[in-house]
Amino acid sequence: MEMAHRDTPTAPPGAQPPAAGLADQGVESNARLTASTAAVLLVLLAAEGVTILRVHSLLSPHVFIGMLLVPPVVLKIGSTAYRFVRYYQGEPAYRRKGPPPVLLRLLGPFMVVSTVVVLASGIALMFVPRSLRQSTLLLHKASFVLWFGAMTIHVLGHLWDTTHLAPRDWARRTRRDVRGAGLRQWTVVASVALGVPLGLLLLGRVGPWDSQRSPSITAEHNVSRGSPAPAPTPTNGSTVPAGGPAPTVPSLHVGTALTSPPPTATSGTLPTSASPTRSPRHSGKARPHHHANKKTTHAA
C-alpha cells in the first residue's frame, strides 16, 4: 500500500487542472489574434495617413487603403468584443486575465462607434447623391478628427501589449506555445486579402465621383496638382488667353485712316475728302509756268 501510494503521480502545488489550462490558452489565443490584427491596422493606418496629406491628388489610394482597413477592423472589433463578453459573463480564465485599464475600457465603445462612422461615411461619399455630398463629407471629416484623438490614446495604452504579443504567432520559438497559431495567421492574412477586391470594387466609383464634384472643389483639385486655372471668359464674348489678357497695342494712325469711313456730309457742305487739294509738288511746278507768262507779256 505504501509503494502504491508513492507511485501515484501527484500534481505540483498550484498546478491548474487541464480544463483550466485550455481555458487560459483560449485567453492567450484571443490576445495574440487581437495584437496581430492591431499591428496590421497600424501599418495600414500609417499608409492611409500619407494619402490624407494630399487627398485630392491621392484620392484613389486613399479609397483603396480605406477599403483594405474594413475587414481587419471588423476582425479586431470581433476579438475585442469576445473578450469583453466573456469577462462580464464571469468566465474564470478571463477574470484571471483581468480587464484593461479604466480609461481604455471607457474609451472602447467610443472607439468602436467612431471607427464605424469614419469608414461608413467614407464609403457613403462614393454613393450618395450630389445634394447630400457636402453633409456627408462634413460628417466624415468631423468623425475623423474625434476618432484620431481617441485612437492616439488607444494606441498608446495598448502599445506594450501589441509589441509584446503580436510577434508571438509569427516567431518560430514562440508560435507553438499556444495552439492554433496557423489558424490565427491565416485569419489575419485573409482579412487583408478580403479588402483587396473591396478596394478594387470601390475604385470604379472614384472616377465618376471626381468628375461630378462642384466647381470650387475641382478648382482646388487642379491647383493642388499644379494645373493652370481655367481662363476667364470676358463679358463681350472675346477669348482671353490662359496666361492673362494680352497687352494693349496702340493703334496706328495710318491704319485708322485707311479703315475709318469718310465723314458724313452736313447740309450745304461737301466732305473734306471731296474738296480739291493741291499737293505741294504740283504747286511748285505751276509757279515757273506763271513767270513764263509774265515774260511773254513784257516782250509783247
Rounded Cα distance between 83 and 33, Å, is 11
pLDDT of residue 146: 95
Greater pLDDT, 15 or 79? 79
pLDDT of residue 20: 52
Return the closest-CA partner of residue 72 out of 156, 195, 196, 202: 195
Greater pLDDT, 258 or 202? 202
Lowest pLDDT segment from 4-8, 12-16, 46-50, 278-282:
4-8
Lowest pLDDT segment from 105-114, 127-136, 200-209, 218-227:
218-227
* Mean pLDDT of all residues belonging to the chain: 76
**Grid cell 504747286 — which residue?**
283
pLDDT of residue 117: 97
Greater pLDDT, 250 or 206? 206
pLDDT of residue 252: 46
Q: What is the mean pLDDT of residues 160-176?
A: 92
55 confidence band (pLDDT: 50, 70, 90):
confident
Rounded Cα distance between 163 and 39, Å, is 8
pLDDT of residue 169: 94
Q: Is residue 243 scored above 90 in pLDDT?
A: no
Return the closest-CA partner of residue 40 out of 77, 66, 72, 12: 72
Which of the given ranges, 5-14, 35-44, 167-176, has the highest pLDDT on average? 35-44
Q: Is residue 300 scored above 50 in pLDDT?
A: no
Q: Where are the domains of the chain?
A: 22-171+182-225
The pLDDT tens digits of the residues spanning 100-116 come to 889 999 999 999 999 99
The three cell numbers locating residue 107: 474609451
Greater pLDDT, 8 or 142? 142
205 confidence band (pLDDT: 50, 70, 90):
confident
Return the closest-CA partner of residue 56 out of 206, 229, 198: 206
Rounded Cα distance between 121 and 131, Å, is 15
Rounded Cα distance between 222 and 229, Å, is 7
Backbone φ and ψ of 260, nearest 5°: -75, 140
Greater pLDDT, 33 or 252? 33
Are 144 and 125 in contact by the 8 Å Cβ rule? The answer is no
Rounded Cα distance between 31 and 215, Å, is 49
Return the closest-CA partner of residue 116 out of 74, 175, 87: 74
Dihedral class, residue 276 (left if φ above 0, else alpha if ψ from -120 to 50, else beta):
beta
Rounded Cα distance between 135 and 56, Å, is 18
Q: Is residue 244 scored above 60 in pLDDT?
A: no
Are 126 and 205 in contact by the 8 Å Cβ rule? The answer is yes
Rounded Cα distance between 42 and 58, Å, is 20
Q: Is residue 171 scored above 50 in pLDDT?
A: yes
Greater pLDDT, 244 or 89? 89
pLDDT of residue 213: 60
Are 30 and 158 in contact by the 8 Å Cβ rule? The answer is no
pLDDT of residue 140: 95
The pLDDT tens digits of the residues spanning 78-135 come to 999 999 999 999 999 999 988 888 999 999 999 999 999 999 999 999 898 889 999 9
Q: Is residue 72 scored above 50 in pLDDT?
A: yes
Greater pLDDT, 43 or 101? 43
- Contact residues for 22 (Cβ-Cβ < 8 A; gap 6+): none
